[in-house]
Amino acid sequence: MENILLIFTCLTLGFFLQRSKDFPPFAYKSLNQFVIYVSLPGMALYYIPKIQIGSHLLFPLGVAWIGFLLSYIFFSLMGRFFGWSRKLTGCLILTAGLGNTSFLGFPIIQALYGEKGIQTAIIVDQPGTFVVMATFGILTATVYAKGTPNVKTIASKILLFPPFIAFGVGCLMNVFQHDFANELQSVFQKLGSTVTPVALIAVGLQLKIEQRSKHWRFLFLGLGYKLLLTPAIFFVLYKVIFAAKGLPIDVSIMESAMAPMITSAILASSYGLKPKLSSMMIGIGIPLSFVTLAFWYLVLNHF
């Protein structure tokens, strides 16, 4: 419960700090960069070396990789049909295509399924959601923010993206286990633990709920896709088509129903992809997801 309380506390703090004259008006930009350059690399270096490679990864991995692909197809087609701006399309692909599978997902999965559930949740998050964000996420942000950059620009953006570099180092640490890496684990853990408070305060600093905002219909579309349609797709795919059963399958489907990923909103905001909408996807999506998650938990218990 403390992680969930931390989420709401940090969002509220950021929201009220907007009104403080002593707080810089664009402080969220610096906080976004801190998350990208310090917090996320620390998280990658802590978790990636611990992942055990095997066939058991396939269903949990599919949550992020298939989910992001479906989001890209859905919103790019919607954007072309309705004539949306590229920035709006990119924002919805990123925020509706990636779930909050760690900071929201871990405490909820642990409460519902225990430590065995966490083992599956880590697979969904680290080689799944995190890697998709660090590769196809940054690719999508670059393309939809800049138009059509050349291959060299896109490749450099991905390869020089700090979390992606940390992911590569983490993979090497996974293969070549060394004592020095174990000694640094507590350091990486402390750096990675700053993601939640810093990122959520940054989101809160940008969160402006305007009743007449033009973003409301896009917000409901994005959250409807993320919280209802995405888990429905995985339920049919895993439970009906593949006829898969067991705790890892249930955890994977629950993880697919999580609210939008905090980091995807930070990424969208950093690239100028509708920052207000991306903040609303987090600020409203997180509390709303508690209702939809309860619904999906009941569905899984009855089927």
List domains and CATH numbers for the chain: 2-9+27-206+213-302 (1.20.1530.20)
Scanning the structure block, which residue is given the tokens 């197809």? 73
d(CA 144, CA 116): 39
Long-range contacts at 170-175 (CB < 8 A, ≥ 24 apart): 170/44, 170/45, 170/47, 170/48, 170/49, 171/48, 173/45, 173/48, 173/49, 174/48, 174/49, 174/50, 174/51, 174/53
The token duo for 262 is 């905090």
The 10 Å CB-count burial string (b at 16+, else e) for 103-124 is bbbbbbbeeebeeebbbbbbbb
Say if pTM beats, i.e. exceeds, 0.85: no
What was the pLDDT predicted at 278?
Answer: 92
Q: What is the mean pLDDT of residues 286-295?
A: 92
- Helices vs. strands in the chain: H and E counts, helices first: 19, 0
The CA–CA distances, whole Å, from 175 to 125, 159, 180 equal 19, 20, 14
For the segment 174-229, what is each residue's pLDDT rounded down to a tens digit? 887 665 566 788 899 899 888 878 887 887 887 766 666 678 999 999 999 999 99
The Cα–Cα gap between 33 and 235 comes to 36
Written in H, E and C, the secondary structure of 35-57 is HHHHHHHHHHHHHHHHCCCCHHH
State the CB neighbour count (10 A cutoff) for residue 154: 16
Q: Is the pLDDT of residue 36 over 90?
A: no
Report pLDDT digits (tens) over 144-158.
987 666 677 777 877
* Tens of pLDDT, residues 131-148: 898 889 988 998 998 766
Whether residue 4 contacts residue 102, with contact meaning beta carbons closer than 8 Å, is answered with: no
Give φ, ψ of 260 to 5 degrees. -55, 150
Backbone φ and ψ of 176, nearest 5°: -110, 85
Torsion 142-252-32-131 (CA) sign? negative
What is the predicted pLDDT for the residue at 181? 60
Task: For residue 100, give the DSSP letter.
Answer: -
Contacts of 95 (CB under 8 A, 6+ apart): 222, 226, 260, 261, 264, 265, 268, 277, 278, 281, 282
The angle that helices 275-283 and 86-97 make with each other, rounded to 10 degrees, is: 20
The pLDDT of residue 211 is 65
Return the residue matching tokens 């859905």.
74
